[in-house]
Amino acid sequence: MRKLIVLSFITVDGVIQAPYLDEFLDKVLDEELREPFDLLLGRKTFEIFASYWPYHEEQGPGPGINNATKYVASNTLNSHDWKKSVFLKGDVAEEVRKLKQRDGLVIYIYGSGNLIQTLLKYDLIDAFWLKICPITLPTLRSAREK
């Protein structure tokens, strides 16, 4: 059975955020991504990644995001030119359950907060590798209340 691991950068107040890279975090990421992996992404995170990664050569010791199979949970997208993109159809929890039962590489999830909530509900996540940023980011709601 394949493992499903959440790799998230999160602030202390719970905002999932792109990383603030420094030398230490760069080494941590290189180690995590050294071995081949697949990705599971929600639509929003996929669109962010797809606007950048297909057009950039990757650095680092591992095979990289461009070589990973990208499984995408989306009700609105069903294709994309980024190589090795696979769009899940129907019940995402059931599709992920089937995906985990197949032989294959570890599956990482980046970002994709809504997808993570769904997968938690169905107990489909095996581990969390969190990088907690020691900052807080105000939400739009709290900014409007001021």
CB 53 within 8 A of CB 65: yes
**pLDDT score at 12:** 72
Hunting for tokens 């994309």 — which residue is that?
80
Query: What is the tens place of the pLDDT at every residue in 39-51?
Result: 999 999 999 999 9
Under the banding of pLDDT at 50, 70 and 90, the label for residue 130 is: confident
Pull the structure tokens for residue 11: 């602030």
Q: For 20-24, 64-68, 84-88, 112-116, which range has the lowest pLDDT when averaged over its residues?
A: 20-24
Domain annotation for the chain: domains and CATH numbers = 4-136 (3.40.430.10)
**pLDDT score at 20:** 65
**pLDDT score at 139:** 59
